[in-house]
Each structure stands twice: as C-alpha cells, then as structure tokens.
Chains A and B, each alone.
Chain A
Amino acid sequence: MSVETKAAPLVWPEEEDPREEHLLLDPRPRAELNQIVLDAMHRTGFGFWAAVTVLSLLVLIGLGGAWGYQIYKGMGVAGIRRPVYWGVYITNFVFWIGISHSGTFVSAILRVFKAEFRRPITRGSEMMTAFALVVAGMYPLIHLGRTWRFYWMVPYPNQRQLWPNFHSPLMWDMLAIFTYVIGSTLYLYLPLIPDVAMARDHSTGWRHKLYRILALGWRGTEAEWHHLKTAITIFAFAIIPVMFSVHTIVSWDFGMTMKVGWHSSIFGPYFVTGAIFSGVSAVATVLLIVRKTMKLEYFLRPEHFDAIGKLILIFSFAWTYFFFSDYLTEWYGGEAVGKELITFQAHGPVAPLWYLMLIMNIAIPWLTLWNRRVRRSTWWLFLVTIGVNIGMYIERYIIVTGFLQRNRLPFDWGVYNPSLVEVLISIGSLSLFMLLYVVASRFIPLVPVWEVQEGQITHSLRRIGRALVPSVAELE
C-alpha cells in the first residue's frame, strides 16, 4: 500500500473529480485565494453603480418620502383601521427578524457542530444578519403613532419619573433585539479581523487607512490567534440562545395576548423554525446572486448550495409540523371564533394568499428539494428560495393582519388592505437591506479566507492503491 501526499499528481479514476466538487480538497496558494476575494471587493462596474443608484432612490422614496409623510400627517395614511391596529409594519418587522436568523444559524450552529460546508458561506450570512436587523429595528419606530417619542421606551432617569413597563412583551422585545444586534455585530466582526488585516496588507490609500483601523493592529501572532479562536468559540455558543430568545420573544408579542389565534404556547418554537426556514432560504438567494455578480465561483460551489438546500427541506418539514399542530389544536378546541378564524383563512379574503403560502412553503420545497439536481441548479434553487420567502412573508401577514380581522364579538370584525404608503415603506426597507449589502460587499471580504484555508489545510486527498481517499485532520 502506497500513501502519497496531496502534492503528488493525481488521477481520478471515475468521472467526478473530488477537487472540482469540494472546495476544501481543491487548495490553492494563499495569494491566489486573497486575490479572488480582493478582486471581488474592487469590482465596481456599471451594474454596481446602477444598483446603488436605483436602490438609493427607492430608499429615499420609501423611507424619506413615505415615512416622512406618515410622520407629518399621522398613522391614518397607512391602511390600518379598527380592529386591525397592526399592519404591514409589524409583518415586516417579524419577517426581517426572521431573515436575521440566517447568519447566526448558518454560522454559529454549523460552527459549533463543525459542519465543514459552512466555511465559505459564514461571512455572507453574518452580514445578512447585521443588515436585516438594521431594517427590522426600524419597523417598531415606523409603526409608532408618535415616532418622535420612541426613546420613552428606553430606561433612563427622566422628567416623567417613570421607568418603562417591564411587564410589556414589547419591552422584552426591545431588550432581546438590542442584545442580538450587539452580539451578532461582534460575532460578525471577530472572524473578520484576520481578513481585514489581509486586506490592509494588500491595499493602499483610503482603503488601507480604513482597514488599518478595523484590523486593530492584527499581526497574526500565535497569541492573537489563540485569543481570537477562544473569543469566536465563546460567541458561537453564546449567540445561539440569544438567537432562539429573539424570535421566541417576537412570537410572545402575539402569544402573550388574549387574542384568539395569537394566544398559543406553540408560537415560540413555531416562529423560530419559520425564521430559520426563511433565513436559510434567504442565504441561498443572496449567495447565488453574490456568486454570480462577484465571480466567487471558486469559493461558493454547488456542494454548498446542495447542503443549504437540504437544510431548507428539513426546515420546511419542521415548519409544516408546527403549522399543522397550531391549526389542529385550534380546530379541535372548537371555540366559535377559533373555527371562524380557520374558515376565514381557507375561504375568506386572505384565502388566495393562504393557499399560495401552502404551495410556496410546503408543496414546492417538498417536490423539488429532494432532488440533487435541483439543489445544485442556480435557477431552480433561486426560484425555490425566493418562493419560500414569499410564503413566509404571507405567513406573517396572515398571522398579524389576518387574525386581527376576526374577534370574539362579530361586530368587531374588520378588513385590512395595505395603503400605498405602507407599500412604499416596505419597498424602501427592502431596498435599504440590498443597498447596505451591495455597498458593504465592496468593503468587507465576503469570504473568510482564513477559515477556508484552515479547512483546506486540514483536508487532503490521499492515494490508497488506485483510489483517492479524502482525509481529514481534526485540529480542535
């Protein structure tokens, strides 16, 4: 039996070469890896400037124009009315908090469980967390009747001699999101330091100055690596309960009320599952675009989307389980208004949306994602993941605005349709997310080069007889 190192010339006897398939078995010199990532950051062609211009305009119209108009005129310019006091704004809030779960889930949980496919995709999804939280955090403010008094929810000694009411789920919500913003930003920043230092050493001018500040004087000594790895491990473990708490508490905004349909003890895990389902789908969507436009095909390979596709399918199963559990208890309980709510969804004005949600969240993922070819196809996966997020948006829309339309006393039933102002603000905030991501992708190395290299060092191909066997060395 002869054992050779990976440096030896290799001949793969079968059709598939593992080096084409697996990023970690296809090592390249560090300089080359750096160059791919740096090139991606410097690529600012026509498409980039067109996107920045259009997105900036939409942000200006939506968040400057429409939101400004709403503050000036009053909440009446939105479509909300008695008894639907919460509308698209809260829907958007829940949706974006859900998207923000992508980064933490992909990055922290997969890191803790040492899923190797995470290596090139962590940075891109952590950035999504940060920017989705920026957008989500705006919505409670947009939603307030007196936005200019939002700071009254902050506990500080004030002339009103009043602390906020910590009995209110909205206060828990604010604290949870605040914690999550700080935690996830730090968690994005820590693994970024070595990459920023790399960019610092390969840049000049203002970029050099920027990266020098961000790199905190990183030199790559053994002590620095040791501290960094310890910090990342601590954060990876600590951020997971924070992530679960955030969407659980968001669900408690509904679950703690006495509203039929909202008052449900299953809402915590149901919302968390839905958030990860939608968040991981969004990771796939965004990374597919990133791979195409930033030419990162070397790092982001079909194997990664294959793995993400499997995750999406699993979370589709889990979401469906919670979804039907929630319905079954409501239906079996047989309270009049609960039954009316179910009828309302299946036959009422939201019925087309409700069926579309079932198709997007259950039928399409189940029919397509079991197929390896679909998971590896750019267009298929792109469409399926967009569909999942449309479905998940509808789910939140029905829970927030639909359930409010049916109350215990039939006189209090109502209707809700979003107004133009609400639509413009929603488009504006989606554009803000995309704008932040597009701009940041030109400043932040989108692939953690050091993590990929670390993975490539620990993985090698060894020849045993005529076969090539991937071999993994465990570092930690």
Chain B
Amino acid sequence: MTETTHRWTMAIDLDRCTGCQACVVACHAENNVPVVGEDEVRMGRAMHWLHIERYWVGEYPNIQARFIPMMCQQCENAPCEPVCPVFATYHSQVEDLNIQVYNRCIGTRYCANNCPYIARTFNWFNPEFPEPLNEQLNPDVTVRKRGIMEKCTFCIQRIHDAEHVAEIEGRPVQDGDVQPACAQSCPTNAIVFGDLNDPNSRISQLAGSRRSSRLLEELGTEPSVIYLSGGDAHVS
C-alpha cells in the first residue's frame, strides 16, 4: 500500500447530540467490544471505545445537560505514540491514523496514562460474549484478549472496505463511502465522517464552521475530531 491521500476526520455536532448512546451500542457491536457487566462498570472498567461524557451547565433549577461523545481523537501529534516501548501504538503511514497493534501490546498502560482524553481502554480480563452476543461478533475485527490496550480505530475495517470497493469499481473513494458505526447509528446525524483533504466533502464544510473547535487544542495534539457547538439547543 502507498501512503494515503486521505485525511480522515470526524465532526460531532454537540448541539444535535441528545446523549441517547446509540453510537455507544453501535460501536460495541461493530468492534467486538465486550460488555463487562454492572459490577465492573461501577469499578471503572467499562470498555467503551466511545463514551458519552455528560456535563451539567448552570445551577439548579436553571440547569442544562450537555453531552460530549468522547473517543480516541486520532491525534496527528499523539502523546500515546512515543511512550510505547514496543511500538504497539504508532502512527500509520498508510491510513494516517493512530494505530493500536494488539499483537504487539504487552500492557504497560503507559499510553493510557499519557492520553489527555483518557480515551483508551484496557482488557482487565479475558472478554466474555454471553448469549446471544457471541452470535454477532464482527468477523472483520480482532477479538482481543486480556492484558492489552485498545481504543477507537475510526472503524478502520470500514475504511479499508470502502477503499477496496472503490478500487474494484475503478473510482476514487467518494464522500459518504466511509461511515463508522457511530455515525451510521446516530439518529440526529450529529456525527459526520469524511476526508478533510477533499474540499467538497461535508466534513470540509463543517471544519470551516465558526462553531468548530477541537478538544484540548492548546496541548498541541492536533486531534482529528472536530466538535461543533455554540447553538442553544439543549436537553433540560
């Protein structure tokens, strides 16, 4: 494979997000993310690659709930990459994404500590997929075992799939060909995914919006997730 010309980027419209968590469920199903059960979740061992952070704005009774869907920000300058001693997390030249190689990981968890978004999850135990979840494992995604880190991949299997289809059909990948599970399942279309290098893509339009910002931008991590906010839509 050659180096990519794509600049995969995601935009999340916080003013549209209702915090319904459909994206979280879709992510679990698409990426074989195990469900760990109530007790472990209470311990802080939930495995969500994508989770909804809820913040309260204002004081009771004038209070609003705001939601931030949070996942790996696919940083251009990712703090998790240099600290891994075994190159299990590194920046892929092929997809220009932040890659986690499960088979290389030895579980130092250094990357997780150095992620300012705390977006990485760890396999505390061997995963269990109780009936009927075991019937719907995605064959395109590795099932991970205990002791290794994992995180959002921007549904890299779907990116590859779209590229293969485009190659067979002898055309370039078009806007909308690639849709991660979270974007596909979002009932309010709050999540948009696309190629920032394509000036006509929806994501390029959104990236130029006055409402756009990136999370903890001041750290210089250059995240690939754009958050849109500034409207007054809210859930109260």
By a beta-carbon cutoff of 8 Å, the part of chain A in contact with chain B is: 73-76, 80-86, 140, 143-147, 149-150, 152-153, 160, 162, 164-165, 167-171, 174, 253, 256-259, 404, 407-412, 414-415
Query: Which residues on the B side are within 8 Å of A414 (C-beta)?
Result: 44
8 A-B pairs whose Cβ atoms sit less than 8 Å apart in the complex:
A76-B125, A145-B108, A145-B146, A146-B105, A169-B110, A257-B83, A407-B116, A411-B70
Provide the bound-state CA to CA distance between A167 and B84, in Å.
Answer: 8
Known A81-B43, A82-B44, A152-B106; judge A162-B113 contact (CB<8 A): no
Q: Kindly provide the distance from the CB of A465 to the nearest chain B CB, expressed in whole angstroms.
A: 69
The one of A146, A167, A409, A415 in contact with B106, judged by C-beta atoms closer than 8 angstroms, is A146
The interface of chain B, by Cβ under 8 A from chain A, is 40, 43-46, 53-55, 68, 70, 79, 82-87, 104-110, 112-114, 116-118, 121-126, 146-149, 215-216, 219
Contact A144 B116 (CB under 8 A): no
Complex contact A153–B83 (CB within 8 A): no
Does A144 lie within 8 Å of B147, measured CB to CB?
A: yes
In the complex, what's the smallest C-beta–C-beta distance from B78 to chain A, in angstroms? 11
Are A165 and B107 closer than 8 Å at their CB atoms? no
Which residues does chain B contribute within 8 Å of A170, judged by CB atoms? 83, 85, 108, 110
- Bound-complex Cα distance A258 to B53 (A): 21
Indicate if the CB atoms of B106 and A165 lie closer than 8 Å. Answer: no
Which of B84, B113, B148 contacts A145, CB < 8 Å?
Answer: B148
Cross-chain contact A74 with B106 (CB below 8 angstroms): no
Q: Are A74 and B83 in contact (CB under 8 A)?
A: no
The chain B residue with its CB closest to the CB of A78 is B124
Minimum Cβ distance to chain A for residue B176 (Å)? 31
| A169-B116 Cα distance, complex, nearest whole Å | 18
Asked if A146 and B45 sit within 8 Å, CB to CB, the answer is no
What's the minimum C-beta distance from A297 to chain B, rounded to whole angstroms?
47
Which of B43, B46, B79, B149 is most buried by chain A, counting CB atoms within 10 A of its CB? B43
| A83 B107 Cβ-Cβ under 8 A | no
> How far apart are the CA atoms of A85 and B122 in the complex, in Å?
9
With A146-B107, A408-B216: A76-B79 Cβ-Cβ less than 8 Å: no
Minimum Cβ distance to chain A for residue B86 (Å):
5
Are the C-beta atoms of A152 and B122 separated by less than 8 Å? Answer: no
A391 to nearest B CB, angstroms?
A: 25
Which residue of chain B lies nearest to A404 when distances are taken between CB atoms in the complex? Answer: B113
Alpha-carbon distance between A410 and B118 when the two chains are bound, in angstroms? 11
Q: How far is the CA of A407 from the CA of B113 in the complex (A)?
A: 10
Docked-complex contact B79 and A152, CB < 8 angstroms: no
CA distance A361 to B45 in the complex (A): 35
Residues of chain A with a CB closer than 8 A to B219's CB: 258
Name the 7 nearest CB pairs between A and B, nearest first: A145-B107, A145-B147, A76-B124, A81-B44, A74-B146, A411-B53, A85-B109
**Within the complex, which residue of B109, B118, B123 is in contact with A407, where a contact is CB–CB below 8 Å?**
B118
Residue in B112, B126, B219 with the greatest tally of chain A CB atoms within 10 Å: B112
B76: min CB distance to chain A, Å: 15
Inter-chain contact A145/B122, CB cutoff 8 Å: yes
Q: How far is the CA of A114 from the CA of B68 in the complex (A)?
A: 63
Residues of the A chain whose Cβ atoms lie less than 8 Å from the Cβ of B110: 168-170, 253
Contacts of A174 in B (CB 8 A): 85
Please state if B147 and A146 are interface contacts (CB–CB under 8 Å): yes
Which of A80, A165, A408, A412 sits near B87, CB closer than 8 Å? Answer: A165
- With beta carbons under 8 angstroms apart, the residue of A81, A147, A411 that contacts B45 is A81
A75 touches B147 (CB 8 A): yes
Also in contact, A162 and B45, with CB within 8 A (given A75-B107, A76-B124, A150-B106):
no
Q: Which residues of B contact A169 (CB under 8 A)?
A: 83, 110
A82 and B46 contact, CB distance less than 8 A: yes
**In contact, B114 and A162 (Cβ under 8 angstroms):** no
Which residues of B are found within 8 Å of A74, using beta-carbon distances? 123-126, 146-147
- Please tell me if the beta carbons of A168 and B122 are within 8 angstroms of each other in the complex: no
Name the contact of A152 in the complex, choosing from B82, B86, B215, B216 (C-beta under 8 A). Answer: B86
Minimum distance in angstroms from B44 CB to a CB of chain A? 3
Q: Would B108 and A165 count as touching, CB distance under 8 A?
A: no
Across the interface, name the chain A residue whose C-beta is closest to B103: A160
Query: Which chain A residue shows the least CB distance to B126?
Result: A74
Residues of A within 8 A of B68 (CB): 411
Residues from chain A with a CB closer than 8 A to the CB of B107 are 75, 144-146
Contacts of A82 in B (CB 8 A): 44-46, 112, 118, 121-122
Q: Complex Cα distance A276/B16, Å?
A: 56
